[in-house]
Amino acid sequence: MDKRAFLKLTGLAGAAIISGPLSSLAATGATSGVPAFKADPKAPFVLPPLPYGYEALEPHIDKLTMEIHHDKHHAAYVKNLNDNIANTPFANLTLEEIQHQVTEKDKAIRNNGGGHYNHSLFWTLLSPTKKTPSAKLKNAINGAFGSWEAFQTKFNDAAKSVFGSGWAWLIVTPDKKLAVTTTPNQDNPLMHNLVKDKGTPILALDVWEHAYYLKHQNKRPEYIEAFWNVVNWDEVEKLYNKA
């Protein structure tokens, strides 16, 4: 069975039982590491479960924020995506393929497809267990940005600079270089028809207010600093190696 047939025939819930944790499931589905499983062309996308408990990222990201962020915000993106792709050419695509093909005129699919993709990736990039980047990954980042500290400063500044709602990203560009970029709203670097800086995301930070306001209020820099304590560097490296 080829990949496309598998994506159409395998449901996310069933694949999760077979494949185990979300991280391994994500790696099976799409090159970017985000679940892309649908039972058939008419079946909806589903909300992937968190790979840890709501409270697992405390004290850096609080339980109530995780509950609302995942169960309300992410779930709404999934529902709205399903509603808007019905009876369109997008209904036959994987989640990643939707990112590649969406355009300016596909406003609802752009916003909700991006919201589903971005959050599905984001959950896998967080870990309740303290992780450290490998020597290989650190060397790659040091080579691209000059030092680990310079990379973190660049990423932090990018996340702080997003006006309103959006995301900060570490990506592998089409020419296989590491770069830091940002996108507004629920856009992402896979949206080749929409973004200036194209690439494969390997690290993401949600800087929408709903991601941090309950705990950090308007102090976005405080939230950004907390984020570094829960980065799943093992998953970042997996995505880097694939990219």
- For 56-94, write each residue's pLDDT tens digit: 999 999 999 999 999 999 999 999 999 999 999 999 899
CB 223 within 8 A of CB 215: yes
Q: Using one digit for the tens of pLDDT, what is the confidence trace for 35-53? A: 443 433 444 799 999 999 9
Kindly state the greatest CA–CA separation across the chain: 50
Which amino acid type is present at position 14? G
Q: How far apart are CA 77 and CA 73, in angstroms?
A: 7
Calpha distance 180→116 (Å, rounded): 21
Architecture of domain 61-243: 3-Layer(bab) Sandwich (3.55)
Q: What is the mean pLDDT of the chain?
A: 86
Q: What percent of the chain is predicted at pLDDT more than 70?
A: 82
Bridge partners (DSSP) of residue 171 are 179, 201
Q: Is the pLDDT of residue 234 over 60?
A: yes
Task: Report how far residue 68's alpha carbon sits from residue 100's, in angstroms, rounded to the nearest whole number.
Answer: 28
The whole-model pTM stands at 0.83
Give the pLDDT score at 44: 77
Whether residue 129 has pLDDT greater than 70: yes
Q: List, for residues 195-233, the tens digit of each pLDDT value.
A: 999 999 999 999 999 999 989 999 999 999 999 999 999
pLDDT band of residue 16 (cuts 50, 70, 90) is very low
Where is the binding site for Mn(2+), in residues?
Answer: 69, 119, 206, 210
List binding-site positions.
Answer: 69, 119, 206, 210
Does the pLDDT of residue 4 top 80, yes or no?
no
Among 31-35, 92-96, 134-138, 186-190, the range scoring the smallest mean pLDDT is: 31-35
The residue whose two tokens read 């369109």 is 88
Radius of gyration of the CA atoms of the chain, in A: 17
CA dihedral 227, 230, 234, 235 (to 10 degrees): -60
CA separation for the pair 156, 228 (Å, rounded)? 10
Residue 3 pLDDT class (50, 70, 90 cuts): very low
Lowest mean pLDDT among 7-16, 113-122, 136-145, 199-208: 7-16
Predicted confidence at residue 217, as pLDDT, reads: 93
Contact 178, 141 (CB under 8 A): yes
Q: Is 227 exposed, middle or buried (0-12, 13-18, 19+ CB in 10 A)?
A: buried
Give me the residue label for tokens 């909300």: 47
pLDDT of residue 21 exceeding 90, the answer is: no
Rounded to an integer, what distance in angstroms lies between the CA atom of residue 79 and that of residue 212?
23
